[in-house]
Structure 1
Amino acid sequence: MKIIIFGLGNFGMSLALSLTETGNEVIGVDKDLTKVDLVKDKIAHSVCMDSTNELGYQALPVKQADMIVVAIGENEGAAIITTAIIKKLSNAKVISRSLSPIHDTVLQAMGIVSIVHPEQEAAEKLTNKINLKNIVDNFKIDAKYSISEIKTPPAFVGKSIIDLDIRAKYKLNIITILRKKEKTNLIGNTTSIMEVIGIPAADTIIEKNDILVVFGTNDNISKICENHD
């Protein structure tokens, strides 16, 4: 996809690099030349401009973009003005970072459906890791449901998925399993990597260091984590 990112702070720059690494054509925009220079050789293109100046958009392919991300995190006014100009000039999908509840309201009034809160989402993820010590990672679907990566409880090791009957006992679905594998590189060094084993069959045996990727309610995920104790 062709993606334009406005704002190359920590969030915007990390997003630009990650999207580039996964095969997207990314154009990064920021009014700070230092930030633009930092990514100019790492993404498809970078532009130094004030995104609140509508005339500057003539240099950007906003009409050809598949997605535009407003990642500005230091100036709420600039973020709102930038979003308004983009909505006027482009039909691309817009994802906008919000800095406050009022910012949320303004974005919703503009018709922005995809609103992100990077700091809040990072804090919630860290909170889950702290509160549930056996969770490796967690993706919140909504207030009730999550997809979580959890360490395999000792009681599960050596048993098959059908024997454990996790759906009936915990009301959770195992989506997949991450399993540690030894990999040798071209110069002969061996490293450990986590591989996805795909959709696990009913007779799949759970191994000691497996990471189970499960879907269900937050309460039920908490209960299976307590099975470690």
Structure 2
Amino acid sequence: MTRKIEVGIVGLGKFGLSLALTLSELGISVIGVDNSEARVKAAKPYISQVYQADGTDSKALEQLSFQDFNYVVVSTGDSMEASILVVLNLQEMGVDKIWVKAVSERHEKVLNRLGVDFVVFPEQFVAKQLAHRLAMPGMLEYLSMGDDVIIRERKVGDWKGKNLVELNLTNNYQVQVIAIRRKGEEKFSFVPNAAQILDEEDVLVLVGSREDLMRLPDSAS
């Protein structure tokens, strides 16, 4: 049986509200709090449980059972001080996993020293995504995983007539095919059949380091 996930979000500005909406669409239970009456009112049509409360008040969070949630995300606008205070309160409450939106590199450094489980710096992350997309046509996603891990599309092109076993991309280029979109189809097929012959109009989705993906030959046929 799948474990039910409950997420608390402190701060319902642009980032916090967008996160709450996406989690709700994925079927995850979300409880949001914000000290702004206007932001709480704006969130109510989309989040089943939203409350006007001061996120820096540990008693308010305890009353809403934040200590029992699987994750708590802290997104308190541009206030570094408020964010740190919320984190300290959540840690004292025994919250299992704390994720925080950083507002500056200094803020990010402090959060890491506090032992926060995950720190996101949205502006920096988006900037990296955009830079990599500009530098590498066909890139779908940049993944920050220590190394520059990238997901990229490539048309089969001159690899036509071969299958994935024959191409042996893992050993030849240290990249992995994670999906294929066949000619004439709109959706990708994941866990592709490695023995199926490829058409030059098929599209492969590859994952690997930026350096390894850059070494791939062009797909021209």
TM-score range, shorter chain: 0.7 to 0.9
Paired residue for 1:159, among 149, 157, 162?
Answer: 162
Measured in 2, the distance between the counterparts of 1:31 and 1:54 equals 13
**Structure 2: stretches of 5+ with no match in the other structure:** none
C-alpha deviation, 1:84, in angstroms:
1.1
1:227 has 2:218 as partner: yes
**1:105 is matched by which residue type in structure 2?**
K
Aligned position for 1:216: 208
Measured in 2, the distance between the counterparts of 1:73 and 1:222 equals 38
C-alpha deviation, 1:177, in angstroms:
2.4
Measured in 2, the distance between the counterparts of 1:140 and 1:179 equals 29
Measured in 2, the distance between the counterparts of 1:26 and 1:209 equals 42
Equivalent pair of 2:24/2:47 in contact (CA under 8 Å): yes
Aligned position for 1:188: none
1:135 has 2:139 as partner: yes
**1:138 is matched by which residue type in structure 2?**
Y
The Cα RMSD (Å) is 2.3
Residue 166 to residue 80, structure 1, CA distance change in 2 (3 Å): same
Measured in 2, the distance between the counterparts of 1:140 and 1:215 equals 13
Paired residue for 1:39, among 40, 43, 68?
Answer: 43
Bigger Cα displacement from structure 2, 158-167 vs 72-81: 158-167
C-alpha deviation, 1:29, in angstroms:
1.4
Give me the identity figure in percent. Answer: 27
Residue 179 to residue 122, structure 1, CA distance change in 2 (3 Å): farther
Once the two structures are superposed, the pairs formed by residues 87-102 of structure 1 within 5 Å of their partners are 87-102=91-106
**1:131 is matched by which residue type in structure 2?**
A
Bigger Cα displacement from structure 2, 101-110 vs 61-70: 101-110
Equivalent pair of 1:181/1:194 in contact (CA under 8 Å): no
Measured in 1, the distance between the counterparts of 2:40 and 2:203 equals 39
Measured in 2, the distance between the counterparts of 1:139 and 1:99 equals 20
1:125 has 2:129 as partner: yes
C-alpha deviation, 1:18, in angstroms:
0.9
Measured in 2, the distance between the counterparts of 1:88 and 1:78 equals 15
Aligned position for 1:186: none
Residue 180 to residue 113, structure 1, CA distance change in 2 (3 Å): farther
Aligned position for 2:177: 174
Aligned position for 2:23: 19
- State the TM-score, normalized to the length of structure 1: 0.83
| Secondary structure of the corresponding residue to residue 168 of structure 1 | helix
Residue 152 to residue 88, structure 1, CA distance change in 2 (3 Å): same
- Paired residues, number: 216
Measured in 2, the distance between the counterparts of 1:34 and 1:158 equals 60
Aligned position for 2:112: 108
Measured in 1, the distance between the counterparts of 2:46 and 2:184 equals 30
Paired residue for 2:88, among 43, 60, 84?
Answer: 84
Aligned position for 2:67: 63
Once the two structures are superposed, the pairs formed by residues 141-152 of structure 1 within 5 Å of their partners are 141-144=145-148, 146-152=149-155
- State the TM-score, normalized to the length of structure 2: 0.86
C-alpha deviation, 1:30, in angstroms:
1.4
Once the two structures are superposed, the pairs formed by residues 196-215 of structure 1 within 5 Å of their partners are 197-207=189-199, 210-215=202-207
**1:116 is matched by which residue type in structure 2?**
V
Measured in 2, the distance between the counterparts of 1:153 and 1:118 equals 34
Equivalent pair of 1:157/1:207 in contact (CA under 8 Å): yes
Equivalent pair of 1:5/1:69 in contact (CA under 8 Å): yes
